Amino acid sequence: MTGNQQVFIRELPRESVSAGNFDIRETALPRLSGGDVLVQHHCLSLDPYMRKRLADAVAGRFPLKAGDLMMGRTVGRVLESHDPSFRVDDVVLGWGGWQLFAVERARR
């Protein structure tokens, strides 16, 4: 593992959502500090509420903006842990966003 793939909002959709509203970028793997876990995502949510959140951002009611990582729930496996509550290979639910890997603060 040397890199991460992430989906960023290129522009907020004015009408229907299309692939053109997003960019896929290759980035460096995130670094951990104390209390963090590195998660490899296996499932990303794609739910109807996300369209509403994008529309609310267009109307100025939600802080999503161009350049942000696309938000969303994730299910993944812990690859590295700097918190004793989580072990390598634990399966976790989080808000890691649309990316292959995420560093998340360990919480139960």
Integer Cα distance of 84 and 95 in angstroms: 20
Q: Which backbone phi and psi does 38 adopt, to 5 degrees? A: -95, 125
> Is residue 84 within 8 Å of 106, Cβ to Cβ?
no
Contacts of 83 (CB under 8 A, 6+ apart): 34, 35, 36, 37, 106
Average pLDDT over residues 10-34: 91
Element (H, E) at 56: helix 48-58
pTM of the model: 0.87
* pLDDT one-digit tens code per residue, 59-78: 777 778 999 999 999 999 99
